[in-house]
């Protein structure tokens, strides 16, 4: 019975307050106002899901309004792409509208303002106007044309409209206040002369209205109750309201602008200008390149509309600057596809297996479910024969018992098929394995119900029958940038952080024959590998798959660790627990013995074990533990060796900026003991030496 009360974001709260005050529910109306000068991206999805979501929860209309007041940048191509993306996301607008629909009304209102002495034509150059405008800290001065007569203004504006003037020679300005602390109130431009053809109005106009003059009035015309935009428009609100004051009648609804923070995603850029740069300069193959954070790129990559809507929902809405971890987006698509994608088998890096006791020329068709754990997926027939492909990574001649896969004299289950045992290998002259010879247990067929089929074998491999296999192309993607926030570095161009390995082609992939009927856009889980979809470039004779996102691979982590490292694990876990206690304890007399124990234990830890950990740690506890281990190693390890220096240096850089003062102290202490780490963080350390909140840190910094 108890219904979970979902908390409202601050915009929903504003709406609820308005409803509680005097706004009638049926007056609620929203809009999504893209400028058709680029493609929609995942940041826009936040706004789309917000506005259209509001429309759904309040059963209110949502208009799609193209903000097309600048004919120089806007194109029909973008209009079409934007409409397609919104529909694909699953939303339907009440009306498709254009700011340019209101050019006539806007013009009439402008004339009215001139007549009221609230707008004037300025003949100065843009440079002169900019100079008079002042700066955020200095007031502007009035234009010499500010006090023209109404008649003269009317005549000039008429000439502007008739196309009698050159571009840039005249503008219409609102007469507000050149000394306002808000730059937007310093006689803002309402109209400029632009002798350009517009994608909708053609050559009817040679004057075009500016954003501020257009947006609020368009909201008013459409009777939008809540005009939601991003935070950089906050300072425009005063002007938005001023313009509204000029035309709003008491009996009509007066729109309200409210702002929220735009959504940023780690390891990518989100501004249209930068995305356009990536497209135009060939860093990616178009707006819908699967590496792009555009809606069209994500769609081509294999993302579902549901996953993007879910992402927008869980990422939330607020007014704080943010960089959302791309892992959250990846979680959303994996979560969706895990429930919806059929499982099939594909081998990305094939090696041949010959089952020596399987009759030559024999083939059988095994009924394999598309999803073992969920109803309704159905099944298909998968061919099995004497020669198969498995992944090269799934075989080792020798391996320890943590390796659950195929090794010589070891047994493994072939998914949906038989248990096989590797007997020997055939190699080329370079010693590379060409064939793995195996025997199979003919009574062990999956699902046959025999005692042999129920045997527990530790590993299960995916496979493809060699004579039946279909060769396809697979495209593997990695993040486009190697830096978490590539455009946050003031001194550096964001393109310096482009990942050179963001796209890999693999033309030597074998898939099961059922996939020959796959259509463009179809999504699958390639068993044990990841989620893939059929790319737009795919043809029946040459199938192309995109890797949407890989499956979690916990083996990769285990495999990286040596035997030594695994022995270290328990020690490190112990230290981690102690570090947790340390953070929790309130008294120094609790902490001191903890430190002593940690240092004692730390000497047992090998530096190599630590290296892989420090690159993934992110909690205070982990940072503190790893720093204490590092601090105990001074005598044993040569930190100047670049193999150690680089990862540790990066780690220290992060640690110095952590909120927790114990973490910062340990990091500073480490630098103090190992001065070669000072170089890259010198600015930060200088700043800390005067400004850190913690006096112990400042004291420690004074020592070096």
- Tell me whether residue 477 or residue 623 sits nearer to RNA (CB atom): 623
Rounded to a whole number of angstroms, the minimum distance from the CB of residue 503 to RNA is 22
Among the listed residues 395, 481, 662, 670, the single contact to RNA using CB under 7 A: 662
Nearest to 470, CA basis, from 527, 515, 504, 434: 515
Rounded to a whole number of angstroms, the minimum distance from the CB of residue 625 to RNA is 10
Nearest to 476, CA basis, from 521, 552, 532: 532
Per CB under 7 A, which of residues 156..215 are in contact with RNA? 167-171, 181-184, 189, 192-194, 208, 210-211, 215
From the DSSP assignment, how many helices (H) and strands (E) are in the chain?
21, 27
Q: Is 237 a residue of the active site?
A: no
Q: Mind spelling out the 3-state secondary structure of 159-170?
A: HHHHCCCCCCCC
Q: Which of 175, 272, 310, 621 is catalytic?
A: 272
Among the listed residues 67, 411, 535, 568, the single contact to RNA using CB under 7 A: 67
- Tell me whether residue 8 or residue 150 sits nearer to RNA (CB atom): 8
- Tell me whether residue 360 or residue 691 sits nearer to RNA (CB atom): 691
Rounded to a whole number of angstroms, the minimum distance from the CB of residue 409 to RNA is 16
Per CB under 7 A, which of residues 462..501 are in contact with RNA? none
Size of the chain, expressed as the number of residues it contains: 704
Rounded to a whole number of angstroms, the minimum distance from the CB of residue 360 to RNA is 24
Token digits of residue 183:
């730059």
- Tell me whether residue 274 or residue 520 sits nearer to RNA (CB atom): 274
Q: Where are the alpha helices (DSSP H) in 546-641?
A: 554-560, 563-584, 588-602, 607-614, 620-631
Question: What does the per-residue mask of binding to RNA show for 11-50, with x meaning CB under 7 A?
Answer: --x-------------------x-x---------------
Tokens 């109209």 label which residue?
191
Q: Which long-range contacts (CB under 8 A, 24 or more apart) does 626-629 make?
A: 626/651, 627/655, 627/663, 627/666, 627/667, 627/669, 627/670, 628/575, 628/579, 628/595, 628/598, 628/599, 628/602, 628/666, 629/572, 629/575, 629/598, 629/602, 629/605
Per CB under 7 A, which of residues 592..631 are in contact with RNA? 613, 616-622
DSSP 8-state class, residue 223: T
* Beta pairing partners, 389: 352, 464
Q: Which stretch in 356-364, 435-443, 467-475, 569-577 sits in contact with RNA by CB under 7 A? A: 569-577
- Tell me whether residue 257 or residue 289 sits nearer to RNA (CB atom): 257
Token digits of residue 140:
């502007």
Q: Which stretch in 398-406, 425-433, 500-508, 666-674 sits in contact with RNA by CB under 7 A? A: 398-406
Q: Contact 389/438 with Cβ under 8 angstroms?
A: no
- Tell me whether residue 369 or residue 499 sits nearer to RNA (CB atom): 369
**CA separation (Å) from 389 to 288, 346, 467, 470, 600?**
33, 9, 10, 11, 50
Per CB under 7 A, which of residues 74..113 are in contact with RNA? none
Q: Which stretch in 9-17, 241-249, 435-443, 473-481 sits in contact with RNA by CB under 7 A? A: 9-17
Q: Is 272 a residue of the active site?
A: yes
Q: Is 393 a residue of the active site?
A: no
Among the listed residues 27, 424, 492, 552, the single contact to RNA using CB under 7 A: 552
Q: Which stretch in 228-236, 281-289, 515-523, 587-595 sits in contact with RNA by CB under 7 A? A: 228-236
Q: Which stretch in 102-110, 231-239, 377-385, 634-642 sits in contact with RNA by CB under 7 A? A: 231-239
**CA separation (Å) from 551 to 70, 268, 292, 302, 555?**
45, 21, 20, 14, 11
Rounded to a whole number of angstroms, the minimum distance from the CB of residue 540 to RNA is 27
- Tell me whether residue 123 or residue 435 sits nearer to RNA (CB atom): 123
Q: Distance between CA atoms of 61 and 49, rounded to whole angstroms?
A: 14
Q: Which of 262, 352, 442, 591 is catalytic?
A: 262
Binding of RNA at residue 459 (CB under 7 A)?
Answer: yes
**Beta-carbon contacts of residue 566 (< 8 Å; ≥ 6 apart):** none
Rounded to a whole number of angstroms, the minimum distance from the CB of residue 329 to RNA is 8
Among the listed residues 268, 525, 546, 602, the single contact to RNA using CB under 7 A: 525
Binding of RNA at residue 583 (CB under 7 A)?
Answer: yes
DSSP 8-state class, residue 539: B
Among the listed residues 235, 340, 349, 499, the single contact to RNA using CB under 7 A: 235
Question: What does the per-residue mask of binding to RNA show for 269-298, with x meaning CB under 7 A?
Answer: ------------------------------
Rounded to a whole number of angstroms, the minimum distance from the CB of residue 159 to RNA is 14
Among the listed residues 25, 27, 56, 72, the single contact to RNA using CB under 7 A: 72
Q: Which stretch in 346-354, 512-520, 574-582, 678-686 sits in contact with RNA by CB under 7 A? A: 574-582
Q: Contact 486/275 with Cβ under 8 angstroms?
A: no
Q: Distance between CA atoms of 390 and 475, rounded to whole angstroms?
A: 19
**Beta-carbon contacts of residue 378 (< 8 Å; ≥ 6 apart):** 369, 370
Number of residues that bind RNA (CB under 7 A): 117
Q: Specify the 3-state DSSP secondary structure of 127.
A: helix
Nearest to 526, CA basis, from 661, 415, 622: 415
β-pair type (544-550, 363-369)? unpaired
For the chain, state the CA radius of gyration: 33
Per CB under 7 A, which of residues 305..364 are in contact with RNA? 314-325, 327-328, 331, 334-335, 338, 343
Element (DSSP H or E) covering residue 332: helix 326-340
Binding of RNA at residue 690 (CB under 7 A)?
Answer: no
β-pair type (419-427, 411-414)? antiparallel
Question: What does the per-residue mask of binding to RNA show for 130-159, with x meaning CB under 7 A?
Answer: x--x-xxxx---------------------
Q: Which stretch in 85-93, 426-434, 520-528, 534-542 sits in contact with RNA by CB under 7 A? A: 520-528
Active-site residue numbers? 35, 262, 272
């Amino acid at each position: 019975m108890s219904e979970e009360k979902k908390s409202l974001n601050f915009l929903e709260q504003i709406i609820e307050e308005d409803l509680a005050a005097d706004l009638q529910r049926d007056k609620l109306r929203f809009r999504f106002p893209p400028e058709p000068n680029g493609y929609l991206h995942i940041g826009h999805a936040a706004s789309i899901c917000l506005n259209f979501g509001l429309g759904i929860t309040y059963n209110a209309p949502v208009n799609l309004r193209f903000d097309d007041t600048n004919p120089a940048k806007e194109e029909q191509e973008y209009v079409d792409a934007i409409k397609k993306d919104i529909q694909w996301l699953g939303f339907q607008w009440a009306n498709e509208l254009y700011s340019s629909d209101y050019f006539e009304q806007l013009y009439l209102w402008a004339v009215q303002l001139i007549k009221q002495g609230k707008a004037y034509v300025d003949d100065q150059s843009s440079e002169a106007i900019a100079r008079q405008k002042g700066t955020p800290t200095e007031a502007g001065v009035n234009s010499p044309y500010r006090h023209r007569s109404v008649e003269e203004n009317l005549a000039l504006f008429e000439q502007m409209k008739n196309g009698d003037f050159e571009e840039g020679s005249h503008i219409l300005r609102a007469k507000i206040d050149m000394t306002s602390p808000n730059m937007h109130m310093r006689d803002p431009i309402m109209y400029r002369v632009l002798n350009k053809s517009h994608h909708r109005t053609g050559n009817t106009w040679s004057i075009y209205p500016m954003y501020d003059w257009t947006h609020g009035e368009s909201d008013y015309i459409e009777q939008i109750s809540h005009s939601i935009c991003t935070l950089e428009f906050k300072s425009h609100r005063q002007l938005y309201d001023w313009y509204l004051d000029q035309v709003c009648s008491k009996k009509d609804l007066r729109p309200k602008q409210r702002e929220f923070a735009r959504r940023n995603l780690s390891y990518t850029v989100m501004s249209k200008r930068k995305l356009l740069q990536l497209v135009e300069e060939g860093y990616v193959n178009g707006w819908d390149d699967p590496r792009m954070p555009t809606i069209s790129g994500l769609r081509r990559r294999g993302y579902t509309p549901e996953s993007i809507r879910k992402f927008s929902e869980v990422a939330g809405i607020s007014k704080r600057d943010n960089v959302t971890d791309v892992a959250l987006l990846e979680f959303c698509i994996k979560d969706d596809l895990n429930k919806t994608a059929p499982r099939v088998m594909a081998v990305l890096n094939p090696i041949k297996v010959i089952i020596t006791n399987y009759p030559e020329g024999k083939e059988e068709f095994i009924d394999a479910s598309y999803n073992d754990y969920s109803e309704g997926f159905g099944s298909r027939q998968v061919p099995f024969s004497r020669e198969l492909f498995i992944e090269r990574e799934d075989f080792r001649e020798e391996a320890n018992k943590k390796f659950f896969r195929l090794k010589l004299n070891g047994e493994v289950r072939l998914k949906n098929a038989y248990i096989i045992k590797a007997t020997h290998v055939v190699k080329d002259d370079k010693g590379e394995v060409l064939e793995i010879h195996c025997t199979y247990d003919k009574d062990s067929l999956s699902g046959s119900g025999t005692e042999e089929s129920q045997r527990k074998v530790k590993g299960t491999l995916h496979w493809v029958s060699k004579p039946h296999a279909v060769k396809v192309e697979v495209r593997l993607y990695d993040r486009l940038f190697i830096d978490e926030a590539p455009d946050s570095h003031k001194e550096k161009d964001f393109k310096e952080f482009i990942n050179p390995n963001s796209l890999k082609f693999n033309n030597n992939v074998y898939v099961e024959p059922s996939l020959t009927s796959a259509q463009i856009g179809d999504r699958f889980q390639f068993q044990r590998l990841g989620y893939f979809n059929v790319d737009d470039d795919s043809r029946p004779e040459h199938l192309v798959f995109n890797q949407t996102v890989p499956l979690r691979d916990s083996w990769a982590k285990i495999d990286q660790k040596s035997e030594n490292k695994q022995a270290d694990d328990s020690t490190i876990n112990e230290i981690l627990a102690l570090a947790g206690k340390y953070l929790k304890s309130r008294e120094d007399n609790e902490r001191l013995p903890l430190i002593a124990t940690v240092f004692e234990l730390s000497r047992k830890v090998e530096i190599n074990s630590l290296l892989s950990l420090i690159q993934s740690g992110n909690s205070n506890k982990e940072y503190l533990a790893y720093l204490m281990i590092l601090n105990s190693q001074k005598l044993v390890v040569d930190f100047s060796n670049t193999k150690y220096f680089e990862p540790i240096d990066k780690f220290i850089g992060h640690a110095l900026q952590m909120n927790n003062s114990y973490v910062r102290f340990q990091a500073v202490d480490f630098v103090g003991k190992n001065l070669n780490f000072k170089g890259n963080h010198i600015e930060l350390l200088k700043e800390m030496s005067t400004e850190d909140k913690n006096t112990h840190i400042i004291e420690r910094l004074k020592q070096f």
